[in-house]
A and B are shown apart, each in its own frame.
Chain A
Amino acid sequence: MIRYIVALLFPLSVFSQAEKPHNGVKAPDQNSFVLTNVTILISPDKTIENGTITVRNGKITSVDKILLTTPKDLVVIDGNNAVVVPSFIEVNSTMGIPADQKAENKTGPYYWNHAIRAEFDAIDWYKADEKMTAEYQKMGFGSVLIHRNDGLAQGYGSLMQLGTTNTDNQPYLSKAASFYSFRKGSSPQDYPSSLVGSIALLRQSFYDAQWHAEYGKDANYTLEALTLQLKKPAFFTLDDKSDVFRVKSFMREFKREFAVIGTGQEQFLGNAWDTLKIPVVIPINFPEAFDLKDPYLAHEIPYSELKIWEMASRNPGFLFKHKVPFITSAAGHTTAADFWKHIHQALAAGWSVNDVLRSLTIAPATLLGVQKELGTIETDKWANFTVYDQNPFLYKAKVLEVFSKGERRILQNAPISDIRGTYSLNIDGVKYWLEIAGTPSQPEAKVKLVRTIQDSLTLANKSDTLTTKAKLTLLNNDIAIHFVQQIDGENQAFSLKGDVNPRVFIFEGEGTNNKGRWIKWSALRNKKYEAKDENKQAWTADTLTISPTRFPNSAFGFTAPPKQSVIIFEQATIWTNTDEGIIQEGTVIVENGKIKAIHKGSGTYMKPNDAVVINARGKILTTGIIDEHSHIALTRGVNEGGQAVTCEVRMEDAINAEDIDVYRQLAGGVTAAQLLHGSANPIGGQSALIKLKWGHYPHEYPIKNAPKFVKFALGENVKQSNWGVSNRFPQTRMGVEQVYIDAFSRALAYHQAKSGQQTGKQKDKNITPPAVDLELEALYEIVSGERKITCHSYVQSEINMLMHVADSFGFKVNTFTHILEGYKLADKMKEHGVGASTFSDWWAYKFEVMDAIPQNAALMTNMGLTVAINSDDAEMGRRLNQEAAKTIKYGGATEEQAWKMVTLNPAKLLHLDDRMGTIQVGKDADLVLWTNNPLSVTAKPLYTVVDGEILFDAQKDFIIQQEIAAERARIIAKMSEESKKGESTKPFLRKRKGHFHCNTLGEEESLEVNEH
């Protein structure tokens, strides 16, 4: 009641600020009225029929089932049984933002990196786009949150009210939200050039903003904006469905909230949504079918793409079933027809009408904090609603009118009533039948004349009906009917114009007949039109069960998530890698991901009922292969090549759990790997030590509590010798040394400044602590020995140099990787205590490897070094057992030595040998069962087990191949069917599977020559 009085005293915000001068007399507002006789979808779970909405000054003052007395001061609009739906709210739009605007190189109080543009306000660049606005209104949207999609931190978005006349681009809500992405956008700077770099830069800028908020004295508009944006909704645009985990990681680190703008492939993350707890905005512009004209090109379409197409419309339904409170976006649609087509498809595929409405109204309103003003048709909210001829969620409806803050815009005149039926039509005394069908808003008419003619043969009279199509137009209660009748070869044209009495369905008026004479006519409805087909729902629930999605979405993904089970390998020949050597016949029992027991001979042991018992007689059981140097399972860049020192980047941020090479390497017996940054810079990024957990999420790949590692590189790659023109320091091996000394010195100074602040007994207010510097943090970890180095290296001079630099700073280099001239200074390496991880036989691919010899690994082993054989190559990575065998050939290594080079020794180099690398009770159950001696070219893995889960099974692989062939054929047939129906298709563009190499620059995988 009090509220009501206040509203009366200060009728809304009309007088909020001084008005702009008018040219002429101020036009009166027309935003107060009563809309009656409508079906009102008040909110997702409340609908009233025959309702009335009262609106004053643009706001809803009441919504009633029956209005007893119409306010005398208000205009009444008869809704004529139309359906009123709250206007939708779009949160992901770049409407009105010029697409060609590039990030400028701003100088001044801005962040040093122009991919961070938090101060940017989209409203500054906004220009109303009438065409798109009209299309949004036809879709049913009343307000749109616009932003510029450029850069990592993209700045503010504004919520725009559509359809009001006097706004002058005035946003409904300015700085309504902030936007972020994983793409650096149009920034002209080199850094960042990869996903890992982008993430590091975003993190660094968040830390800088924190520091600036507390200690900053100089103005910095970017950092100030970042801080302000903490209090507002923030959206993160994803490039890939798995990016949602990356956003979650930001949320944990900075204890803040984000909503994500998804990809439409959310369902392929499966049950992850049960625990993700993150607001998500999904697109529903489902992909078109592929053009299948060329069967050879169709052959190139991967199963995953086919499945994305097939499942697309099920995505909203999937999220609905998993109770994810998602928001639906029309992004990607250019026409309302497509938008509604996709809504209906999704409804057919398991979504619910209520939830569609929720996802388009309450959900976005709540996220933006405007749920008290927008989103439903309730008292005190803005009169933002759309009037349809029928329920748009069920039928192919048309938007008749749009109300925007109470301002009415008529898109299409509503029919005065449903005039369809059969009429007796009297034209100047002649009786015709008039049949009106079609839809209420677009009636179609036929005129029939029944006459009696004489049969020329029998001379008998008989009745004949002459039917003529007529053109009928109905505007309010004006009706016009025009038809041309052919009688005995003569064209007779009639034009009739009249009024409709909608209550008794009588038409009356005048017109011209075939002779051009003015005549009177009238029509009276005899029979109502029988609604048969036209009121058919726009969709029917799709009850077809289709084969489930695979996880990951790949031909070789799992249909059910892999689970740890009790696995018993019976009567295996066990290569223990311990002092026990080879157990000729024994049993290994795996439970809870660990090796639980090893029995020699045929011991007795419990077999739980659900145990997987594998008869391994005559087969070799080994521990899994560990690849010390790998670049598989990474996405969008392996090198942050923008700078010489980039240890702030973490490969863990870019794990790609859908890389088919993970599966292929499991098929080659690999169970763990160090995913290294590339070799583009002297100090590269932080490694990810992972297990090949095919069928798991990217954040499940890293090994828990693994030691910290970083990639260093020496030689031609960091000098950029083979990459054309380069002007980055260093250009020589001499310069490389200085980069190290400089970096380590800076790290020590940083640490000193930081610890001086922390250890001081009283916080000295005059001394400002250093801002968190992610690069220096990592460098200090390195120089203090906490983070271990794997260093890409070839020639002996530089290897010697790095050991000296490390010694002078009092730490040790952990591993030299590649280390092709290791044999030349194995004695010095032994003294320093560094290990070696090398290729078996590569050489001659560039100048610095001309002295590489395949006896290297064996000779270093003989010198007492811990030596591993690595791949640095997605193909060779699946044959590391064979590469190990080459050390027997070239350097005379024993089989045991050779085998350890791809198992125990890399475990040692990675300081993981306490849990991997041998078959011992208590160690991780990372096991491979081979057909025969794995050092033979004829050996093949039968099973590969990671953490107690069977992730490769040779027999199942064969079955999957058959299944996928059938599945492909099924979906392709479906697709062909679809394109026959006239649905548009698109040509197939296949992203070729490139591979990351040490020297791959940028975010795209390389198809170029690997220079390692």
Chain B
Amino acid sequence: MKTIIYTFLVLLVSVNGYGQKKYNKILVEGATVHIGNGNVISTGSVGIENGIITLVKNTLAYTYDKSDWDTVITLNGHHLYPGFVAPNSTLGLTEIDAVRASRDFQEMGTFNPHVRAQIAYNCESDVIETVRTNGVLMIQTTPRGGRISGQSSLMASSCWNWEDGTIKADDGVHIDWPSAYTRKWGDPITKTNETYEEQKRELIAYLKYAKVSAGNKDKNTPLQYSAMSDCFNGEKRFYFHADEVQQINDILDLISELDIKFPVIVGGYESYLVAERLKIKNVPVMIGRLHSLPRHDDDAFDLPYKLPFLLQQAGVQFCLQNEGDMEAMNARNLPFLAGTAMSYGLTEEEAIRSITLSACEIMGISKNYGTIEVGKKAVLYGSTGSALEMKSNQASLLLINGIFVPTTNFQTELYKKYKTKYGK
């Protein structure tokens, strides 16, 4: 009977489209509830009122009056997760990688802290649709390019427009730290970057001016500087994109010098070599795509896979991200990156945390997002099997801020269309 309700519901949702009807009191019961903070309830019930989680309990120990809930969804044997978060992604800013007209993530110029990704976020992106149905329900849509790329925003993976889709606007400024080694486009040779010191000085000088500017509450602050003023006081993040030891060390020095409150390292391929410093300075790392080849011939073949474990052992805070080749469409594999982290040292719940709560903590939205706990926004992903496994991640429930979202996308529709053609 309960499964019938569930099937009916999904049908209803897919017919009506998301957001059509508000369900004010929803109870999801029977699933294994992965809280997101490392804890798990093997059979749990989650209650939602007006988009906020109001109840998290063991199903077996909880009796309720059906009439208290206007919707009851039974997910026996399923898994329920906080919606996964894709940090540092061009999702929403690009559609077809090879078509220039569809690329909106890179503004011209070197210093673009004032550029904001939020307003270019395409709610109707076909790509986002396919990412959403694998459990990625929140996206840090992020600009690229230049020395300072611009500001990212935290967006819901389903919305009518970028305004109602915004979870947190302009959450931070992204800085592409210069490489200590020259890596010219198309040039396969790595050598010491002779201009590194100069590039670094230029960037640091720019940030120092911005900091002074942030202190002066002068109306005439230049646009570029004012865009960064909240990054120094911790309101917003500074995201330093860097992989090399040299870069990370220099960033850590700068952080002390400018007293930056919430710096984040993005990438951090060699962060394991300076883990001690990162821990002491309490600087988290958004680890680069785990499904990558080692950068050096002598690195262990599985070094990228075990990077989360290495940082965890060293006590460094981290989350996973997916920047790289074809990153927008590939973002749907984010849960499988967590799966890989799990195979290479993390526990299942730690792995889940690395794409839920940890990401929200690092980006500064953990007050309302990242776990299935009372008081948090209801952003939930239900899957019939483990969502971290390729073979068993199968959407059974998508809930964003308490609103049902279809578990289908245009690809499942095309699939259905041709199945019908062949009579299969």
Contacts and interface: CB of A to CB of B under 8 A. Distances in A.
Partners in one complex: yes
Interface residues of B, number: 58
Contacts of A883: 390
A1009 interface: yes
A482 interface: no
Contacts of B392: 888-889
A937 B390 contact: yes
A888 B188 contact: no
Contacts of B160: none
Chain A interface extent, by class:
35 or more
Given A296-B246, A994-B188, A895 B391 contact: yes
Nearest to B344: A940
Interface stretch (B76-84, B136-144, B146-154, B294-302): B294-302
A862 B245 CA distance: 50
Given A303-B298, A844-B127, A844-B329, A992 B189 contact: yes
Contacts of B326: 842, 844-845, 1010
B328 A855 contact: no
- Among A294, A663, A936, max chain B CB count under 10 A is at A936
Contacts of B292: 875
A876 interface: yes
A444 interface: no
B192 interface: yes
Contact of A300 (B186, B291, B296, B342): B296
Contacts of B157: none
A826 interface: yes
B188 A855 contact: no
Interface in B393-420: 393-394, 411-412, 414-415, 418-419
Interface string B279-300: 0000000000001111111101
A993 B190 CA distance: 10
Contact of B297 (A299, A554, A889): A554
A538 to B, nearest CB: 35
A843 B329 contact: yes
A841 B391 contact: no
Given A842-B326, A855-B412, A992 B424 contact: no
Given A937-B340, A991-B189, A303 B297 contact: yes
A721 B130 CA distance: 26
Contacts of A667: 301-302
A216 to B, nearest CB: 42
Interface in A112-162: none
Interface stretch (B10-18, B95-103, B114-122, B354-362): B95-103
B348 to A, nearest CB: 10
B391 A888 contact: yes
A935 B391 contact: yes
Contacts of B176: none
A304 B297 contact: yes
B424 A863 contact: yes
A885 interface: yes
A879 B343 CA distance: 13
Given A823-B415, A827-B422, A938-B339, A968 B298 contact: yes
Interface in B353-400: 388-394
Interface string A480-504: 0000000000000000000000000
Interface stretch (A223-231, A609-617, A798-806, A846-854): A846-854
Interface stretch (A257-265, A342-350, A733-741, A1000-1008): A1000-1008
A886 B390 contact: yes
A874 interface: yes
A270 B294 CA distance: 27
Contact of B190 (A294, A878, A990): A990
Given A875-B293, A1005-B188, A845 B97 contact: yes
B232 interface: no
B191 interface: yes
A716 B97 CA distance: 13
A524 interface: no
A824 interface: yes
B390 A846 contact: no
A98 interface: no
A889 B332 CA distance: 13
B6 to A, nearest CB: 19
Contacts of B424: 859, 862-863
Given A844-B328, A846-B97, A989 B191 contact: yes
Contacts of A824: 418
Nearest to B419: A859
Interface in A960-1010: 961, 964, 968, 987-995, 1004-1005, 1007-1010
A851 B333 CA distance: 19
Given A300-B296, A302-B296, A957-B300, A853 B415 contact: yes
B246 A845 contact: no
A844 B409 CA distance: 14
A847 B99 contact: yes
Contacts of B218: none
- Among A296, A663, A957, A991, max chain B CB count under 10 A is at A296
A366 to B, nearest CB: 40
A1009 B97 contact: yes
B188 A940 contact: no
Given A300-B190, A875-B293, A957 B329 contact: no
| 6 A-B pairs with least C-beta separation | A846-B98, A937-B339, A885-B390, A990-B190, A855-B415, A844-B329
6 contacts: A823-B415, A827-B422, A845-B98, A846-B97, A937-B339, A1011-B97
Given A841-B333, A843-B329, 6 more contacts: A823-B414, A878-B301, A988-B191, A990-B191, A991-B188, A1004-B188
Interface of B: 95-99, 126-127, 130, 180-181, 183, 185-186, 188-192, 244-246, 291-298, 300-302, 325-326, 328-329, 332-333, 336, 339-340, 342-343, 388-394, 411-412, 414-415, 418-419, 422, 424
